[in-house]
Chains A and B, each alone.
Chain A
Amino acid sequence: MSAAVSPAGEASVAAGIDNPAARVLMQRHRFRWWEALPWIAAIVSYFAFPDYLGFGTDLLVTILFALSLDLALGYAGIITLGHAAFFGAGAYTVGMLASYNIWTEPITSLLLAALAAAAIGVLSGLVLLRTKGLTLLMLTLCTMALLEQAANMAHAYTGGFDGLPSLPIAPVFGVFEFNPLYADTQYLFALGVLLVCFLFVRTLVYSPFGQSLTGIRENVLRMHAIGSPVRRRLIVCYAISAALAGIAGGLWAQTNAYVNLSTLGLDRAATVLIVLILGGYGRLYGAFIGAVVYLALEHFLAQIYPTAWQLGLGLLLVLIALFARNGILGLGETLWRRYRAKRTAP
């Protein structure tokens, strides 16, 4: 056994491998101390800001939605303008099941929302992911618009433009009720869902599957050349991303107790794109930073100065596109590297 001499530790021994590449991957996968910070902050906020739990719930849902987009866009490089299609699919699955009293149990509802969104993801992915660039952008946009109009058309079932109000949602675990006035349950439920989904995504992107996605993003020709099943990988990734977006949408419907066409619109798709890129895509925690910054600015600025908020947002986007393409996290990483370089320099 090489265990005694291996510096990579027990993990690599268990897997029976010891080479530098495997060691790097293992190291990247390891939890760092600061990764606990967002969750500590979320729990502290629960006790510190009881009046803002509704806002906090929105924030958690947005993080989950942005995280789902990060998987497709940040890791696999699928540039989509229509990710709200899956958010809306999840929201309407939960909404229609609840509104017609077919199924109101929250956790299984979310699983059904994930399934519905994933089904749409596979179906659309099978045809859309043949294309790239502007065609792909247009096709994702049109798919979303198509779903939006379909929901509008089937107003007998979906409530059309007005949506479905006052959804009955069963208590979580049969005990904790969703109270529209006090968002305690909503907040903690959303936090739990986000934690589970995040751990899943984190494991996924550091797995060999996740590595191959990054490879496809960076150099698709080379991935073809080494025999990677590129299209199948992309479709699977798109479906998983869709499922997560569906969960986010379902969660949105549950915590707001209604669903309407806004869940499927270009506005929502553009917003989640902005949130992710603002935070920094392809980085897991970009979704967290972006959502916090965007929603905090929106919540406190947009209510008072809606026009100034839009102007500021526009300027921010232009500046990011021109100067800070990796978002806030990327900017932070650059500054940190410079600081480190200065300290280690003689």
Chain B
Amino acid sequence: MNFAADFAGILLGGLAAGTVLFIVSVGLSVTMGLMGFVNLAHGAFAMFGGYIVVLAMNRAHFGFAVALALGFIATAALSVVLERFLYRRLYRAGELDQVLFTIGLIFIFIASMTIVVGPESQTLQLPPALGGQLNLGFIQYRTYSIFLIVVGFAIALGIWLTFERTRIGGQIRATVDNRRMAESLGINVDRLFTITFAFGSGMAAIGGGLGAEFLGLDPQYPLKYLVYFLIVVSVGGLGSVIGVYYAALILGVLDFVLTLYLPKGGTIFIYVLTILILLARPQGLFGRKEL
């Protein structure tokens, strides 16, 4: 293969991974922006959704799309229950309590998954239409990666339009900018938060399902990728869809390149870059609000 094709291949692989990171993290960014809640357990929702998707396909033989929808609904429902009964009590608590609480949730998710499904890694069988190679003219590449990139772009566009053009999007932006003012203008922040929390968790579930094929899916998932989700959100900026999209794509490509060329410890550059960005811009690349 020549250099250009190599380069394109790496770029596409990285973009596909970044897309999954975006789909998982976007909800976390919005909910953290709204409430300032440090939710380390967001990856647990991605794992839960991923398991629903994989099990629905492998055991109940649903189609990929149906399984994804099922994962979205089940995870969103679960997250509403948790938000109503548990998260809600800690909105006014300090970060330390929130960290502790969400670490506890992660452990509960990990243990429950191990008990119910088992400690082994789950494999996702892609539908045949997405399994092969696609000829892009200048390069042959995996159909699934292209599919992910396209889907991710559509989702990003959809969420961005919702943010910029709809009433609820305006309410979310207003609340992220100034919660007290938004509340006194009559925006029901509690309800807004429940809706975005459920939607964000549902998106995480879809991300978990879409990424299961190459990120793997086992009970340790929420801890394994925790740092990456947090980096995407903090670098992108709280409550900023575009920021999270860019940050996720950059992180995906960087991680892909570094693990390819520097398999031992190459990811050090990701951490250095994150530290530098956060020191220069504590609100993230596109954020309007200090973390």
Contact = CB atoms under 8 A, between A and B. Distances in A.
Interface stretch (B47-55, B177-185, B260-268): B260-268
Nearest to B226: A266
Interface residues of B, number: 48
A331 to B, nearest CB: 15
B9 interface: no
Contacts of B95: 79, 133-134, 137
B108 A134 contact: no
Interface string A249-280: 00000000000000000100010011001000
B271 interface: yes
A131 B278 contact: yes
B1 interface: no
A318 interface: yes
Interface stretch (A27-35, A58-66, A141-149): A141-149
A317 B109 CA distance: 13
A314 B265 contact: no
B44 to A, nearest CB: 10
A163 to B, nearest CB: 14
Contacts of B97: 321, 325
Residue from the set A127, A139, A316 with the largest chain B CB neighbour count within 10 Å: A139
B88 to A, nearest CB: 11
A297 interface: no
Residue from the set A134, A274, A308, A320 with the largest chain B CB neighbour count within 10 Å: A134
Interface in B103-138: 103-112, 114-115
14 contacts: A133-B95, A133-B290, A133-B291, A138-B231, A142-B227, A143-B275, A150-B265, A151-B265, A152-B264, A310-B114, A314-B111, A315-B108, A320-B100, A322-B89
B224 to A, nearest CB: 10
Given A146-B268, A325-B97, A138 B115 contact: no
Given A139-B275, A318-B86, 20 more contacts: A134-B38, A135-B291, A138-B231, A138-B274, A142-B274, A145-B267, A146-B268, A146-B275, A149-B267, A152-B264, A160-B264, A277-B96, A307-B115, A311-B108, A314-B107, A314-B111, A318-B101, A320-B104, A321-B97, A321-B100
Top-9 shortest CB links A-B: A317-B104, A153-B265, A314-B107, A321-B101, A311-B111, A314-B108, A149-B268, A134-B291, A152-B265
Contacts of B108: 311, 314-315, 318
A155 interface: yes
B32 interface: yes
Interface string A146-174: 10011111110000100000000000000
Nearest to A278: B100
A131 B95 CA distance: 14
Interface string B267-289: 11001101100110010000000
Interface in B65-119: 86, 89-90, 93-101, 103-112, 114-115
A81 interface: yes
Contacts of B103: 270, 273-274, 317
B234 interface: yes
Contact of B105 (A138, A314, A325): A314
Contacts of B146: none
B230 A141 contact: yes
Contact of A135 (B104, B106, B227, B282): B282
B111 A310 contact: yes
A315 B272 CA distance: 35
B168 interface: no
Given A270-B103, A307-B115, A311-B108, A79 B96 contact: yes
A153 B268 contact: yes
Contacts of A325: 93, 97
B11 interface: no
A116 interface: no
B223 interface: yes
Given A155-B264, A311-B107, A266 B275 contact: no
Report whether over half of chain A's contact residues are helix, strand or loop; otherwise say mixed.
Answer: helix
Given A135-B291, A308-B111, A322 B275 contact: no
A66 to B, nearest CB: 14
A142 B226 CA distance: 12
A152 B268 CA distance: 9
Nearest to A151: B265
Interface string A207-229: 00000000000000000000000
A133 B283 CA distance: 11
A250 to B, nearest CB: 23
Nearest to B108: A314
Interface in A318-343: 318, 320-322, 325
A313 B101 CA distance: 11
Given A274-B100, A321-B90, A141 B106 contact: no
Nearest to A277: B100
A127 B274 CA distance: 13
Given A138-B230, A311-B111, A314-B104, A146 B291 contact: no
Contact of A273 (B100, B230, B272, B274): B100
Given A131-B278, A138-B231, A139-B275, A266 B107 contact: no
